[in-house]
Structures are given as C-alpha cells and as structure tokens.
Amino acid sequence: MAARSPDSRGLFGEAVRAVLGSWPVLQIAVENGFGGAHSEEKAEWMVGAVDQYFHSNADLEQYEVEEGLSGMMNEEFDTIVEDGSLPQVAQQLCGLYAQCRRGETAAVREKIAQLCQKKYNVRANVQEVKVSDEDEGSGDEAAEAMDCEASASISPAVSTSEAAGSSAEPSAEPSGTEPEPDGWTVVRKKKK
C-alpha cells in the first residue's frame, strides 16, 4: 500500500469527527451530560483517540473497533450501547479509513458532508426530545415519555395487517382522539 500522506491522515480525522458526531448514542450522551460536566470535551477526546487507534494499529478488524468504542462509551459516559449501532459505526470508520489509505479523498469528503447533515438532524431530534421531556414533567414519567417519543421518531408504528392492506396512497385519515384512563390519547382511523 502507498504511504499515507499527512492530508489523508487529517481527512480521516475529519471523517472520525463526522461519524461520531452523527452517532445518536454519543450525541444523546453529550447533550444529557452522561459524561459529567466535561461531556463535550470527552466526546472531542474520543475523536482523537479513535483517530490515533486506527493509525497506531495495522489492519483493525471491525469487532476490535466495536470493542474500543464500547469501552470508551462505558468508561467515559457510563453508557452501555445496546441499540445495535456499534457495528454500523465501526463499519463506517473501517470503510472510511480504508478509503483514506487508498487515496479516495473525493468519496471520503462526500461521505463527511452526508454525515455532517445527519449530525444536525440528530441534534434537532435530541433537542425535540428534551423539550418534550420538560413539558411532560419529571422522574419516571418523563423518562418513559422520552423513550416513547424517541421510538416514535425512529419509525412509524404500522401493524402487519395494516401494512398488508395499504396502497401507495393513505387509505384513511384520523377520525379523532379518545382519552384513555391511563392518560394516553388514542388516535383511531376511519374505516372505509
């Protein structure tokens, strides 16, 4: 392989920053201060540590990167990552490192731009959840509300029978809301 230029090393550092900056788990940990008063500094340190980890170790395997990220999240942010995102983040980092080593700077820069856009979306979603959390109250109820809202923003809830009978156009509109005894509001759709 060709020797890495200082430019490709700096480009990989930017790629690491973009990947970690668009990782929802890390962003939520930073926004909520899971790492204490210095959460942002820890996230910044993590970018440098991951960059150095790749440059100090030849031919890292994806599982090694996953273990390293998992350990950093656990040690620095008291967070155990169980959402399935570790393999994706590790794969992105390994792929971008390989592209940097091959000199595919245009492709890496394009990916960085895509990830930076995703970063802003993650921050907007985190802020939305925090605002909703403040509206709901405090304690366990607020945590439960945040969990529900975060899940709802990830994917729409469609049952298997509804998905099987749906066409390209929406088949029904909400007919109204009904308060449930437990405080939930149920939105039902009209039947045709």
With vertex at residue 19, the alpha carbon angle to CA 18 and CA 23, rounded to the nearest 5 degrees, is 115
- What is the three-class DSSP state of 186? strand
pLDDT of 69 reads 96
Report the distance separating Cα 145 and Cα 182, nearest Å. Answer: 13
pLDDT of residue 146: 45
pLDDT at 180: 63
Model's pTM, two decimal places? 0.60
Mean pLDDT for each 10-residue chunk of the chain (192 residues)?
Answer: 56 94 93 92 95 91 96 94 94 95 93 82 55 50 44 36 40 50 66 61
